[in-house]
Amino acid sequence: MIPLRDEIFIRENGQRVAFSEYGDPNGEPVMFCHGWPSSRLMAQFTHDAARELGVRIISPDRPGIADSSLVAERKLLDWPPLVSELANFLKLEKFRALGISGGAPYAYALAWAMPERVRVIAVVSGAPNIAELSDHSGLLALYRWLMFADQRFPAPLCRLGFRLARPLLSLRPPRRSRSWLLKFLQPCDADSLRDELAFEACFESQRRAWKASAAGVLADAQLFAQPWGFSLNELRVPVRLWHGDSDRSFSFRVAKEMAEKIPNCHLRIIEGAGHYSVPIRHIREILADLIATPTSQNL
């Protein structure tokens, strides 16, 4: 679908930040933190629910992803200053944040670094703080292998692997291949991705990320296993966690461990739901809860 707004913001340091908007242009602002590997187009699946609820979704590409400038050796805590500049550009004094899957650390970073501007955050099927995780068995086997490779293989070899993967993963899958791709997912996730808009939000946003830069996708991946620079028990902004009990990327046990660390947190485990089906099937409920939750100043 065509976003309501799609443009490039130039930061004070000259870096480009691409962002798109969905939902209600005059609604309650929500910064959308896309997953991995993904890009700003992932937020398109929120459009109908956001428009109905009066929510303005603002979805920026992270550095090195799609149309945003690649930034060498960036850290997770480089994200809040970027979002702060974007919010200033959009004349937003305060906003809420929504992190999906790999966008979770970025939503947490906003909550930690900008409690005076971030009202509430929602994290859906969220990636955990791996550096503080007690047990990695709840992570998808692919993620555990990527962590092993990053720790054991020389950096040039890792870069080569991502560059070799890029041509294939940058291709747009033919429509007739969609049913074949969905066979690799568990039924609850496959069923949710049979929706045209949901499929495009997932796979087209991934393709855009790979097409732009393998280096950007790799840099984004490497941040997940690095120390974040803060702990979840330091958060002072209300956090709403949503997770499926059948999530294969990050098990619900991982979500419970994260929830126990966060002081002001509400965790909802959805029965029979997987990694993709929670955000796709429950996005209206998630957004309604996000804008209805009292801010930290009111608690």
Token digits for 47? 């459009």
Pairing, β 5-10 against β 28-33: unpaired
Dihedral sign of CA atoms 263, 125, 24, 68 in order:
positive
Q: What is the pLDDT of residue 238?
A: 98
The predicted model scores a pTM of 0.93
Token digits for 162? 């991502």
**What crossing angle do the helices spanning 141-152 and 214-225 adopt, rounded to 10°?**
100
Q: Which residues contact 161 (CB under 8 A, 6 or more apart)?
A: 149
Parts of the chain with a pLDDT under 50: 297-299
Q: What is the pLDDT of residue 241?
A: 98
Name residue 1's beta-bridge partners.
none
Phi-psi bin for 297: left (phi > 0), alpha (psi -120 to 50), beta? alpha
Q: What is the pLDDT of residue 296?
A: 59
Peptide bond into 37 cis (omega under 30): yes
Measuring CA to CA, which residue among 56, 85, 54, 57 is closest to residue 69? 85
Q: What is the pLDDT of residue 298?
A: 38
Secondary structure, 3-state, the chain: CCCCEEEEEECCCCCEEEEEEEECCCCEEEEEECCCCCCHHHHHHHHHHHHHHCEEEEEECCCCCCCCCCCCCCCHHHHHHHHHHHHHHCCCCCEEEEEEHHHHHHHHHHHHHCCCCEEEEEEECCCCCHHHCCCHHHECHHHHHHHHHHHHCCHHHHHHHHHHHHHHHCCCCCHHHHHHHHCCCCHHHHHHCCCHHHHHHHHHHHHHHHHHCHHHHHHHHHHHHCCCCCCHHHCCCCEEEEEECCCCCECHHHHHHHHHHCCCEEEEEECCCCCCHHHHHHHHHHHHHHHHCCCHHHC
